[in-house]
Amino acid sequence: MTRSPLAALAGAVSSPNAPAFPHSAGQWKTELLSGLTVALALVPEAVAFSFVAGVNPLVGLYAAFLVGLITAVIGGRPGMISGATGALAVVMVSLVAQHGVEYLFAAVLLMGLIQVLAGVFRLGKFIRLVPHPVMLGFVNGLAIVIGLAQLEQFHDPAGEGWLSGLPLILMLALTALTMLIIWGTPKVTKAIPAPLAGILVTALIVIALGLPVPRVGDLADISGGLPQLHIPMVPFTLETLWIILPYSVILAAIGLLESLLTLNLVGEITGKRGGASQECVAQGLANLTCGVFGAMGGCAMIGQSMINVSSGGRTRVAAASAAIFLLCFILFAAPLIAQIPLAALVGVMFMVVIGTFAWNTFRVMRRVPRVDAIVIVLVTIVTVLTDLATAVVIGVIVSALAYAWQNATRIGARTYRTPEGAKVYKVQGPLFFGSTDGFSELFQVESDPSLVIVDFEHSRVADQSALAAIEAMAARYETAGKRLQLRHLSQDCHALLRRAGQLVVESDDDPVYGVAVDYDVQPGALGGGH
């Protein structure tokens, strides 16, 4: 039985406590070759995303180097790859078009600061609120987006249309050849990463035969120098802040979502947690650096992380070496890298798509609740049509509403009479904003005896709406002139209930839990109830 792609990713990427360096010469070789493979795949991605954002290709390449290196060294999960991404580029294009690239650098700088603060205040922990169906939809949507992005390479570099005739046949054949080599290499040898073998063999065939197919050099000239310190040339005024702030917030949110979802997916399958706040800080410092070195910023890349893992990358060395190799391409090897056929890199990314997409989704959707299946499909579609942040927010909202509705119908009560003639309501199910109407309908005030006992042993008071419902119920019995006792409420409820507080009967087996309200509110300060 084959492992799922996410299991392979999670199993291969080590925990935050994993060794930072390889422990043998053989593993050093594997890590470095894995980094080289990732670097080769990063080149066309960074160039393409630069075009999407409307900036010079070197702006994207420098971002891939800076973000990749910094997050590799101090990120929350060794083995993850970060760089310039399309999810951020589609947001940046509007800012660049309206105000210029200098405002982009300022926005990336502020974006990094927001992300660092998110890490300092440990906001990364809230990523655990993202349900698994949303994560599954995110992975599948991202795989489709990666696949669709590769279709751009089938455009004719000399014109505006698609490749046709012999160039198209050659492009498809070489792409298929690369995929075949990647599939077959592990069956023959593990001395060289399969994606690297696919790139090298295909490139040698194209160069040796002089085949007329698009190459990396057709995209752009990637030669350049070291990134230079470059303070954004914008007015340091409130007007500038109001221009860049919305973009910075959106970029920071999307960047952290994509990074933390990748981190969370890995942790969920391996059963290991942690590293979220560390990753927030690492992403923030990386983007702060991009902002002052003239780069477009970035975040985690699940596609490149999959390449790294499948190539044998396990420690921080692989990710760091990928960034360093990328810089070496820019400084020294641009003419050589320019000769690599795009078909080879497209083949690698198509294999990433196949490995990233959770193919067991179709089987899972027949077994999970219908709402979860809808969420998986919804998040996948929205990720493809809009962006990751919108998809995740919609998925979380739909999941939360579905959960609230399901729990709202679970409220009920078992009733019986005591020998003394009192009627007991043993409330069952969670009491929260969604179930307060059902809770109120449980009680028959007019026909109940003079003494009524409401037992919350098998219930839980969850929020302020629940407390208000208890207050309202107590008021109804008070108006009817009947005695009411409330049992098995937490001390939290004792303190926050106003009118009903005097009716609470304390016992040694009262539950202990907090109520999700503002504890600074004094009892009685909420007027009609709390």
pLDDT in tens, 299-339: 998 888 888 888 888 788 999 999 999 999 999 999 999 99
The pLDDT value recorded for residue 501 is: 65
Q: What is the mean pLDDT of residues 434-445?
A: 93
The pLDDT value recorded for residue 500 is: 64
Mean pLDDT value across the chain? 86
Reported as half-sphere exposure (CB side, CA atoms, 13 A), residue 529 has a value of 16
Residue 512: band (very low, low, confident or very high) from pLDDT cuts 50, 70, 90: confident
Residue 421 DSSP code: S
The pLDDT value recorded for residue 492 is: 75
CB of 2 within 8 A of CB of 164? no
Which architecture, in CATH terms, is 409-505? 2-Layer Sandwich (3.30)
Q: What is the mean pLDDT of residues 440-468?
A: 92
b/e 370-400 (16+ beta carbons within 10 angstroms → b): ebbbbbbbbbbbbbbeebbbebbbbbbebbe
Structure tokens at 91: 């947001």
- Most confident range, picked from 173-182, 184-193, 490-499: 173-182
Backbone torsions φ then ψ of 156, nearest 5 degrees: -75, 115
Say if residue 145's pLDDT is above 90: no
Q: What is the mean pLDDT of residues 412-432?
A: 93
Across 45-54, 163-172, 433-442, 489-498, least confident range? 489-498
Say if residue 529's pLDDT is above 60: no
In Å, how far are 154, 462, 511 from 515, measured between CA atoms?
Answer: 57, 5, 12
Say if residue 273's pLDDT is above 80: no
d(CA 458, CA 526): 26
Per-residue pLDDT of 515-525, as tens digits, reads 754 433 333 33
Q: What is the mean pLDDT of residues 194-204?
A: 94
Per-residue pLDDT of 352-381, as tens digits, reads 889 888 898 888 888 888 999 999 999 999
pLDDT above 90 covers a percentage of the chain that reads 56
d(CA 115, CA 76): 14
Q: Where are the domains of the chain?
A: 25-365, 409-505
Residue 341 DSSP code: B
pTM over 0.95: no
Say if residue 149's pLDDT is above 70: yes
Structure tokens at 397: 């909202």
Angle between helices 302-310 and 238-270 (to 10 degrees): 40
Say if residue 513's pLDDT is above 90: no
Say if residue 13's pLDDT is above 90: no
Residue 5: band (very low, low, confident or very high) from pLDDT cuts 50, 70, 90: very low
Burial of 99 (0-12, 13-18, 19+ CB in 10 A): middle
User: Between β-strands 82-83 and 299-300, what pairing exists: parallel, antiparallel or unpaired?
Assistant: antiparallel
- Most confident range, picked from 94-98, 385-389, 409-413: 94-98
Q: What is the mean pLDDT of residues 246-253?
A: 93
In Å, how far are 315, 439, 486 from 411, measured between CA atoms?
Answer: 50, 6, 17
d(CA 53, CA 49): 6
Q: What is the mean pLDDT of residues 404-408?
A: 86
d(CA 238, CA 17): 43
Q: What is the mean pLDDT of residues 284-291?
A: 97
The pLDDT value recorded for residue 502 is: 66
Say if residue 116's pLDDT is above 90: yes
The pLDDT value recorded for residue 464 is: 87
